[in-house]
Amino acid sequence: MLNNVFMKVFSCAIAMTVAISIPAITVLAEDTTNENETNATVEIETSFDGSLDVEGAGNYSYNHDLNYEASNSGYAIEVTGSSTSSSTGFKDANNSDLTLTVNGDVNATQGNEQANTSIAYVNDGTLNINGNATSEGEGLNAYGGDINIKGDLTIGSDDTNNTAIISNNNSNINITGDVTKNGSGVYAISQSSGNTNIGGDVNVVDGRAILVSDSGEINVAGSVIANDTALMVTGGSTATVGKNVVSLSGIYNPAVQVDSSSNLIIGGDLNANYRPLWIMITEGGNGTIDIKGTINGNTGIQLRQDLYGLNNGMYDREALTDEDKQNLIAFLPRVNVYAINSNGELLVPSESVSKDVYEVFYNNINYYIKAGENVTINNENKQTMRTIDTLNVSVPDGYTLQVSDTMSFTQLEDGTYAVKLNSYRGNIDIKAIIKAISQATGIAEEDIKVVNENNETNNTPAPSSGMGISVSTPSTNHDAFAPVIEGGATPSKAVKFDFRNGITNEAYKAAVIESFKSTPAGTTLRIESNTTSVFDKKMIEALAANPTIDVEVLFTYAGKKMRVVIPAGYDVNSLLDSNGYCGYLRLASILGSQIIDI
């Protein structure tokens, strides 16, 4: 790398530079064939305020914060590798052995109103910044180079019109933190070929966020938030956002624009002030748009094209031929989304795309399926469905189906359900609901009767035992109170349900509530059933009001007798699901269960 003579002179040069306060350090590296010297790292020991330029080949480290104030236009850091060539002076990729590592923060400021400062320019080399990077002007410029920042990148004052990242010629940019751009106008990140990875969020206070083109790739682990267009993806590129995309753009610019040859993946929602998503149909398009959450906006997904139907200088849907339409359909991307939440109609043709093309497009959107516990989808594709598809769904005995208001279902002769999606808005939510609860009529508790086998006086009249409910105490039925497992508790009260004898939902609910209320404090209540059932919110409220009792639940499932214990003092309200129910199987999954001999 540097021979001993050059190192000595170089060290003196640095000392002289600092002594006369010239605000720059320039390192000119010499190549060497000695592998040990090439892999060594030269430390730039002097701390100073100014620009830092390295050229040639070698490994360098600067173990201080770097502060740079520009009086005109300039970079705080320049890295130029020895293999830079071609008529443009830029490499098509990073082939250099030149690396500069700054172990500190980099701060670029502007000395006057005419100045335009930047953090770094890298052409055929690697720059590592182990700290935060901030600039009042431009950010990073990479041409066939790699830039890695272990921190945040913050760009621009409120009145600037600058870019946070410009990446070309297969450059690679990696930022572990957030990217924030305060200025307006141009895109915060412009990625052409190569790859950019952002570990946090991209936040643009007043302007556009990300442009990726020419087969480039950008990955944002967090969210992208912009006052204007958040994403434009073109030329066979790929953009991935781990969380949400949010845009406050007006009626003209979309939140996201993607051509049909490119790929877009959003892990959360796409939220727009007006137009959430434009798709530009391009020739040969075979891209994928994958949005795990909901598209929210005033419009839905809008299609545009500039391939066919030119009429007086404008692309006109009325001028499209049948062949044009078939070509456009062939170039449509694959779209996956959970739901489309629009204030207006969805299937509204644009100026350049006709309604029949829109219909084919919307009919082939793949909507993600949310299926709850105990729901079995029998189709080969269990993840998504289209409006032109039919799902075949099964639920266990004793359950019925509940679907969102965009769907409908029909029970088939074999007991399964045929489920249809009736809206382009998606929102597929399928749940299995216990029939005993879904059919309940809500009769008042005082009108419901409970059997008491020992004929003791009760607050409610006792109906005949033919209802399939029996309530026992140790004095009336000693055998029913033996512990079902070794060391198990002996209950003070037992209520048994035989659902084969036509127990009504009202009677089951009332018997459970009455048993929860009347079991003596500090004792154990046994509830036994010959099948699975459910506790609803009212039942759980009754149990919560008697918190010192243990509840032993015995039920038969898949030919086996199961035992679950709700211990005294347990937060029983936490057992309820989002709909206010706790089935026996849910209870077993939360508290654990034992298989006992029948």
Note the pLDDT tens digit of each residue in 304-334.
999 999 888 889 899 999 999 999 999 999 9
Q: Which residue blocks in 423-573 are alpha helix, DSSP H? A: 435-438, 505-518, 537-544
Task: For 179-244, give the secondary structure using H, E and C.
Answer: EEECCCCCCCEEEECCEEEECCCEEECCCCCEEEECCCEEEECCCEEECCCCEEECCCCEEEECCC
Percentage with pLDDT > 90 across the chain: 55
What amino acid occupies position 524?
T
Given a cut of 70, whether residue 56 has pLDDT beyond it is yes
pLDDT confidence of residue 311: 85
Whether 130 and 103 have beta carbons less than 8 Å apart is answered as: yes
Q: In whole angstroms, what is the distance from residue 492 CA to residue 284 CA?
A: 75
Average pLDDT over residues 393-400: 88
Given a cut of 90, whether residue 10 has pLDDT beyond it is no
pLDDT confidence of residue 35: 43
Range name among 1-10, 207-216, 303-312, 382-391 with the lowest pLDDT average: 1-10
Whether 425 and 401 have beta carbons less than 8 Å apart is answered as: no
Q: In whole angstroms, what is the distance from residue 352 CA to residue 363 CA?
A: 19
Given a cut of 70, whether residue 94 has pLDDT beyond it is no
371-438: CATH architecture? Ribbon (2.10)
Average pLDDT over residues 489-498: 87
pLDDT confidence of residue 261: 96
pLDDT confidence of residue 72: 80
pLDDT confidence of residue 26: 62
Measured CA to CA in angstroms, residue 178 lies from 232, 286, 297, 480, 511 at distances of: 19, 32, 26, 65, 58
Q: b/e per residue, 338-357, with b = 16+ CB within 10 A?
A: bbbbbeeebeebbebbbeeb
* Domain limits, the chain: 1-228, 250-364, 371-438, 445-596
Q: In whole angstroms, what is the distance from residue 256 CA to residue 506 CA?
A: 53
Average pLDDT over residues 397-424: 92
Whether 122 and 171 have beta carbons less than 8 Å apart is answered as: yes
Given a cut of 80, whether residue 30 has pLDDT beyond it is no
Average pLDDT over residues 233-239: 97
Output the DSSP codes for 553-568: EEEEETTEEEEEEE-T
Q: What is the pLDDT of residues 502-516, one digit of tens each?
A: 788 888 899 999 999
pLDDT confidence of residue 87: 37
Average pLDDT over residues 101-105: 96
Tell me the sheet residues that pair with 408. 420
Q: What is the pLDDT of residues 415-460, one digit of tens each?
A: 999 999 999 999 999 999 876 433 333 322 222 223 222 322 233 3
More confident residue, 132 or 19: 132
Given a cut of 80, whether residue 43 has pLDDT beyond it is yes
Average pLDDT score over the chain: 82
Given a cut of 50, whether residue 86 has pLDDT beyond it is no
Closest C-alpha among 197, 196, 206, 208 to residue 245:
208
User: Which letter does DSSP use for residue 342 in this model?
Assistant: E
pLDDT confidence of residue 511: 92
Within 13 Å of residue 388, how many CA atoms lie on the same side as its CB? 8
Q: What is the pLDDT of residues 568-585, one digit of tens each?
A: 999 999 999 888 889 888
Q: Is 3 helix (H, G, I), strand (E, B) or coil?
A: coil
pLDDT confidence of residue 495: 92
Q: What angle do CA 587, 431, 426 make, to 5 degrees?
A: 145
Given a cut of 50, whether residue 363 has pLDDT beyond it is yes
Average pLDDT over residues 185-189: 81
Q: What is the pLDDT of residues 210-224, one digit of tens each?
A: 999 999 999 999 999
Range name among 84-93, 148-157, 332-341, 549-558 with the lowest pLDDT average: 84-93
Given a cut of 70, whether residue 185 has pLDDT beyond it is no
The edge-to-edge listing of strands for the beta sheet with 417-421 is 376-377, 390-394, 417-421, 407-411
